[in-house]
Amino acid sequence: MATPVKVRLEADKTHYFCTCRKSADGVLCDGSHKGTTYRPQPFTVDTTKEYSLCACKKSENLPFCDGTHRKL
């Protein structure tokens, strides 16, 4: 079971959510998708703080965890 990863994100900056599952931390793009058809999903946050990002990729509120991993 892939559990959420806590990451401190800065407001007003574009972050890139990993959709390929190959990034080192499982949630933020590190370029590991190169050579695949996957592309990172850009997103921003309104407040600088720690967020729980979805590592199971099944959340209905991607890139944020909504607890779906507990049902898998």
Least spacing, CB of residue 55 vs ligand FES, in Å: 12
Min dist CB 50 to ligand FES, Å, is 21
Residue 18: burial class (beta carbons within 10 Å; 0-12, 13-18, 19+): buried
* Closer of 39 and 70 to ligand FES (Cβ): 39
Peptide bond into 42 cis (omega under 30): no
Report the residue number, 23 or 65, with the smaller CB distance to ligand FES: 23
Residues lying near ligand FES in the complex (CB under 6 A): 18-20, 22-23, 29-33, 38, 40
Per DSSP, the three-state class of 68 is: helix
